Amino acid sequence: MKLDMIKAAVRDIPDFPEKGIIFKDITPVLKSPELFRAAVDLMCAPYRESPPDLVVGIDARGFIFASAMAYRLGTGFIPIRKKGKLPHVTVSADYALEYGTATVEVHEDAAGPGDRVVVVDDLLATGGTLAAAVGLLHGLGAKVEGVSVLIELAFLKGRSKLPGETVRALIEY
């Protein structure tokens, strides 16, 4: 029931950020205390019995869900940010965009060998950002226990860029 309510609250914004794109706007979910809490609880559910050591959030909307999940699960939080936003020594990964490339970074000491992590974002589309983040964490020696997103645009086949990873999405389009 709650999942249906969450899905119903996501609104479509046509032609944003550019013509031909239908943007999935999650702000109505975030605005509702009941729906936001339900979304976080549902995203945490697979990890309650064996919480990870750390929850990783991807800049920027991934931070919203990841930090709430870290709090709920009693773990630490790691931000993965766009290039140039972290103050300490970082490692980085480039990934493809529709037109060009982008870069994400994480502090080199954010996670280490054996740390069990869950990677969180609001949306899985083409998979480039999540694949870059997962690659960074593997490079640090962390064990990725799962990838968790609120929404997956399954028709874009982003999961194909995350082979061998357990990907969980609350809502699929």
- Residues with catalytic function: 61, 98
Q: Which residue has the tokens 């119903």?
A: 8
CA–CA dist 5, 155 (Å, integer): 22
DSSP state, residue 144: E
Cis peptide before 52 (omega within 30 of 0): no
128 phi/psi in degrees, rounded to 5: -60, -45
